[in-house]
Amino acid sequence: MAKGSKRSSGRSSRGLGRGSRKGRTVRKPASRPKSSRVIQRRNQRNNQARRATSRATRPLPRSPRRSRSAPVVVPAPGVGRPSINEALVSRMNALQSNVVRIDREADLQDIYSQLGNIEEMFTSLPAKLDDLRVRGYVHSGNFEDQIEALDQEWDTTIRPSIERQLRQDVARLDRQMQAIERSVNGLSAPSERAVSQAESSLSTIESSISSARSNIQSLFQGVQSSLSDIQREVHDIEWMIEQIEQSPEINLLEAEGPLLAVEAEWEEDGADEGPDGILYLTDQRLLFEQKEEVVTKKFLFITTDSEVKQELLLDVPVREIEEIKHDEEKRGLLNLRKDDILELIFSARASVSRGRFHIRGEESSDWAAMIKRVQNGDIDRDRSEEFVEEMEEAAEVTASLPEQCPYCYAAVPPQPRGVTSYVCDFCDQTINARANGDR
């Protein structure tokens, strides 16, 4: 089994609700990923490593200047020196500060930092995805291909263009900066005209720096935006997988893939308050696990003892969700706060009739849309190709469960993909699926 992935063992019954713990499945050995896809992934990693090594031997062009200009010394009035009015002294001091500041800006360090972050993402994101695949994340199958396409475009087209642009801009800014330094350093007896000319030159190079920065950013901001979007999603996925791994009660079915997780509050019985925890959506089930610190002892109004309560309160197949509502509700003082609410109505086969969840930090509309994708099967097209075969095998095994209990002839309701045994609600007998779906 994949490292870090938790797959359930036991028996399956109806959806788990508050107070119920009946319902888990027997896990069969996971199928091996398709060899052709494994080879393709390995080739992608080799190509990415080769490009990263090549880039390391081609540092981006930088300014050849190594020393900063000496501070501008404002000559003090004295014998043999004309007095300088206070306004001109103030402008000279400002000129000195601006020369130092613009000298730093001309190095374009913010641009080099952004470029370094981009190339770091090309290295770190594939490694993080590899780790998540091993730990049980099977969806967003296009991530690796997107990163590979961006990496290839970066290496063959975008980075060479940036290198050419940097050579031109760095050389031009270097010449302008040297001219300004000579001009400012020559102000031994500053005059109104000389200071005005230096200020005008500084303004010109500030515009040149801004233009150079914009020109270079325009070359890479598309790739930067795409990688940042993937990085944010990968961060959310890492958090979700960590929460599942830390849970003592959540066990994934065979070939089940987690999709979303969010901190939420289950508002039971129409109340605005209820257990806090984490709401999960997989490609088979909706889960809610209470995970909060609860007070166990108080003295007057002071908490003297507490404990962390972690308990799986809801485990319902997504197919049992009959109605989905989402909305923003105004709450709090003067109704100034808006809370995202996801409200679900379940079928009669589910262990609960409805669920109302206050979603924190995400849009309830996004959850509603993802639930619908699971229900209509569209989400399966998002599965990474190397995990499609195990999904098909799991579906075949679950489909081999009989429609009637062979012991009491009660109906066996449809089961989520990955269920390999079912406990009859009427006679409590265990019904096993045929091994590997054999007839």
Kindly report, residue by residue over 37-51, the tens digit of the pLDDT: 667 777 777 777 778
Q: For the domain 258-382, what is the CATH code?
A: 2.30.29.30
Mean pLDDT in residue range 262-287? 90
Mean pLDDT in residue range 65-74? 49
Residue spans in the chain of domains classed CATH 2.30.29.30: 258-382
With residue 293 as reference, give the H or E element that holds it.
strand 285-299
Who's near 317: CB < 8 A, 6+ residues apart?
15, 284, 285, 286, 350, 415, 416
Res. 354 pLDDT band, cuts 50 70 90:
very high
pLDDT of residue 371: 98
Kindly report, residue by residue over 286-326, the tens digit of the pLDDT: 999 999 887 767 767 676 777 889 999 999 999 999 999 99
Pairwise CA distance, residues 350 & 354, whole Å? 9
Kindly report, residue by residue over 103-143, the tens digit of the pLDDT: 888 889 899 999 999 999 999 999 999 999 999 999 999 99
What pTM did the predictor assign?
Answer: 0.80
Who's near 315: CB < 8 A, 6+ residues apart?
15, 16, 17, 23, 285, 286, 287
Range scoring the smallest mean pLDDT among 86-90, 143-147, 252-256:
86-90
pLDDT of residue 81: 46
Give the orientation angle of helix 159-185 with respect to helix 192-246, to 10 degrees. Answer: 140
pLDDT of residue 80: 44
Residue, of 270 and 44, whose pLDDT is higher: 44
Kindly report, residue by residue over 152-209, the tens digit of the pLDDT: 999 999 999 999 999 999 888 988 888 888 777 776 666 788 888 888 888 999 999 9
With b for 16 or more beta-carbon neighbours within 10 A and e for fewer, the 42-73 pattern comes to eebeeebeebeeebeeeebbebebeeebeebe
pLDDT of residue 144: 93
Q: For residue 421, which of 438, 400, 392, 439 has the smallest C-alpha distance?
A: 400
Average pLDDT across the chain, whole number? 83
pLDDT of residue 18: 44
Number of helices (H), then strands (E), belonging to the chain: the values are: 8, 9
